[in-house]
Amino acid sequence: VVEDAAALGARLREGRAGERLRVLGALEDAVATAAAEAGTSLVPGPALAAGRRELLTVVREQAVSRTRHRFGHVQRPSRSQDAAQA
């Protein structure tokens, strides 16, 4: 898709471009200004060939863990943990 800077700037201002925008090639000042006004982060530079490495710049990762054992003995969840899950 080829889009001129004015159309992209309008789409950015309307909030229809997302939170991050990968910039391939030269970046025009109008697009950078529109992205800053809309709160869209610009990711400059060439795209990486490794997809997993490329996703590190755009994916929010969260790890949640819960200890269910102590010295190899499985413990039952407490009542407060059961209530929190319900």
Entry pTM: 0.57
| Cα separation, 28 vs 33, whole angstroms | 9
Please state, as a whole number, how many other Cβ atoms lie within 10 Å of the Cβ of residue 31: 22
| Cα separation, 36 vs 44, whole angstroms | 14
Strand partners of residue 43: 22
Angle at the Cα of 16 (from 37 to 39), degrees rounded to 5?
25
Q: Tell me if 9 sits within 8 A of 32, measured CB to CB.
A: no
Q: What is the DSSP code (8-state) at residue 56?
A: T
Residue-by-residue pLDDT tens, the chain, 86 positions:
788 889 988 988 888 877 888 888 888 999 999 999 998 888 888 888 998 888 887 787 788 877 776 777 777 776 765 556 65
